[in-house]
Amino acid sequence: MFNFIKYVRDKYPDTAKTVALFYEDTLYGTDSSNVQKRLAAEQNVEIVADIKYRANSPSLSTEVQLLKSKNPDIVLPTSYTTDAILFIRTANELGFRPKGIIAQDAGYVESAFISAVGAQANGLISRASFVLDLQAKRPSVKVVNEMFKKRSGKDLNATTALQLMTLLVLADAINRAGNTNGPAIEASLRATNIPGSSTIMPFDRVAFGDDGQNTAISPVMMQYNDGQYRTVWPENVATSPVKWPL
Q: How confident is the model at residue 218 (pLDDT cuts 50, 70, 90)?
A: confident
Per-residue pLDDT tens digits for 57-72:
999 999 999 999 999 9
119, 138: one domain: no
Q: Which of these, 100, 144, 119, 97, lies nearest to 4 by C-alpha position?
A: 100
19, 80: one domain: yes
Residue 157: CA count within 13 A, CB half-sphere = 19
Per-residue pLDDT tens digits for 8-21:
999 998 899 999 99
114, 162: one domain: no
98, 176: one domain: no
- Identify the CATH number of the domain in which residue 97 sits: 3.40.50.2300
Q: Which of these, 131, 135, 130, 154, lies nearest to 229 by C-alpha position?
A: 131
Mode of pairing for the β-strands spanning 100-103 and 74-78: parallel
The reported pTM is: 0.81
Distance separating alpha carbons of residues 242 and 8, to the nearest angstrom: 9
Q: Is the pLDDT confidence value at 138 over 90?
A: no
140, 166: one domain: yes
152, 51: one domain: no
User: Domain residues for 55?
Assistant: 2-129+219-233
99, 142: one domain: no
Distance separating alpha carbons of residues 222 and 120, to the nearest angstrom: 16
109, 223: one domain: yes
121, 37: one domain: yes
